[in-house]
Amino acid sequence: MTKTHKSSKIANMQMAYGATGLLVGTIDEAEVFIDIGVKNIAFPYPIANKENIKRVMKLTEKARVILSFDGIEAAKMWNEELAKENKELEYFLLINSGLDRLGVKPEDSVILAKDLCQLKNLTLLGISTHPGHVYGVSSSEEVALIAKQEVETMRHAKELLLTAGFSIKVVATGSTPTFSHVVDSDVFDVLRPGNYPFYDNIQLSLGTCKEEDCTFTVLGTIISKPRNDIFIIDVGSKCLGLDKGAHGNSLVTGFGKVKGHSGLQIISLSEEVGKIKIDGETMLKVGDRIEIIPNHACPSANLTSYVFGYQGDEVVDIISIDARGNSMRPIISDADEQ
Ligand SMILES: Cc1ncc(COP(=O)(O)O)c(C=O)c1O
């Protein structure tokens, strides 16, 4: 899942390490990654307006594009457009494994599959889910329980659909915290974690990773010490984001983790500066630099155009975050083309 990095460099690395395709977060990502040669792209949610359907239709000329549906309405819109061009596309039927966002419960999957199979230009490829409610738990034991629920829900949905006579070629899921728990399960054919290239403070709090695994950090400078127990830094919400996780993580306090300085807590962020509470002694002073692990790396990466790749203290690469929203400027008049 590429919504974390939105970068063709990292997408290329994922493909080089053996990914057979990419699950994208947006059409922008799909356009950029197909341009660099990725041939297998899936969308995780229904695309349900004519403009976007047109954009994705164009992509089907260059890559295998897999859609996702959890209802009949968007699927009908697609079927109509596909019929006009005499094309067929595959799709995942979305299953709700507990997040209660997109997807149907396994018990409702057969009725939906029966409705969808009336649409002759769409072919059921399999079922998929995202157990995002894992971000709301408060211990690694609970992560394991969510992973178990993820496996059992998808096993149940697959069995019901097979019994009803549907072919389920692919069962897909994806979340970074549950990945290690489900990787050996015989249910899943495709795993689509997204956050793992970077990790972040939320993953740390869930026990998914260690501090040294967090590759995405924000480098800040201490610009003022107005009180003995306060630093001001030149990093604010426009770098770190105010995010504490999409699905309510109560384990995270503050607005990021200062690497290697457990006594420092980022207690507030303005847009361009932040405030740190100093607990105990510190050798740090105005002018010193600190490295901050964002609470949630995905929106932080989305706030920048490029990141520096470090090996030790040496900058070895500059990586563009080139698949962010609006990375393809639309052409609406001749003047725009010049
Ligand atoms: C449908 C879907 N699949 C996979 C992922 C990746 O999950 P994670 O960010 O936990 O790695 C997400 C994340 O939002 C998602 O929405």
pLDDT in tens, 192-239: 999 999 999 999 999 999 999 999 999 999 999 999 999 999 999 999
Mean pLDDT of 304-326: 93
pLDDT at 328 exceeding the cut of 90: no
Task: Report the nearest-CA residue for atom 16 of ligand 1.
Answer: 130
Cβ 131 under 6 angstroms from ligand 1: no
Task: At 167, list the tokens.
Answer: 């072919």
Give per-residue burial for 133-161: e unless 16+ CB within 10 Å, then b: bbbbbeeeeebbebbebbbebbbbbbebb
pLDDT at 326 exceeding the cut of 90: no
Q: What is each CA distance from 124 to 79, 83, 109, in whole angstroms?
A: 13, 16, 12
Task: Read off the pLDDT band of 335 (50, 70, 90).
Answer: low
Task: At 305, list the tokens.
Answer: 């155009």
The one-letter code for the residue type at 210 is K
pLDDT of res. 325: 79
- Percent of the chain exceeding pLDDT 90 equals 91
Q: What is the DSSP letter of 135?
A: G
> Within the chain, which residue ranges are assigned CATH 3.20.20.10?
8-197
Q: How far is the C-alpha of 321 from the C-alpha of 314, rounded, in Å?
A: 20
**Helix (H/G/I), strand (E/B), else coil: 32:** helix
> Within the chain, which residue ranges are assigned CATH 2.40.37.20?
203-320
**For 241, left (φ over 0), alpha (ψ -120 to 50), or beta?**
left
Cβ 158 under 6 angstroms from ligand 1: no
Task: Report the nearest-CA residue for atom 8 of ligand 1.
Answer: 175
Task: Report the nearest-CA residue for atom 2 of ligand 1.
Answer: 130
- Compute the distance from residue 175 Cα to the ligand 1 centre, in Å: 5
Mean pLDDT of the chain: 95
- Compute the distance from residue 238 Cα to the ligand 1 centre, in Å: 23
Cα first-last separation, the chain: 35
pLDDT of res. 245: 64
Domain 8-197 class?
alpha beta
Multiple choice CATH, 203-320, 2.60.40.420, 2.40.37.20, 3.40.710.10, 3.30.429.10: 2.40.37.20
CB 161 within 8 A of CB 170: no
**Helix (H/G/I), strand (E/B), else coil: 150:** helix
Q: How far is the C-alpha of 9 from the C-alpha of 29, rounded, in Å?
A: 12
CB 182 within 8 A of CB 151: yes
Q: How far is the C-alpha of 289 from the C-alpha of 123, rounded, in Å?
A: 54
CB 254 within 8 A of CB 294: no
In tens, the pLDDT along 95-152 reads 999 999 999 999 999 999 999 999 999 999 999 999 999 999 989 999 999 999 999 9
Atom of ligand 1 lying closest to residue 196 CA: 11
pLDDT of res. 252: 86
Task: Read off the pLDDT band of 310 (50, 70, 90).
Answer: very high
In tens, the pLDDT along 55-104 reads 999 999 999 999 999 999 999 999 999 999 999 999 999 999 999 999 99
pLDDT at 337 exceeding the cut of 60: no
Pick the closest to residue 37 from 3, 6, 64, 68 (CA basis). 64
pLDDT at 47 exceeding the cut of 80: yes
Cβ 6 under 6 angstroms from ligand 1: no
**How many other C-beta atoms are found inside a 10 Å radius of the C-beta of residue 30?**
24
Residue partners of 34: CB distance under 8 A and separation at least 6: 41, 59, 62, 63
Q: How far is the C-alpha of 230 from the C-alpha of 11, rounded, in Å?
A: 40
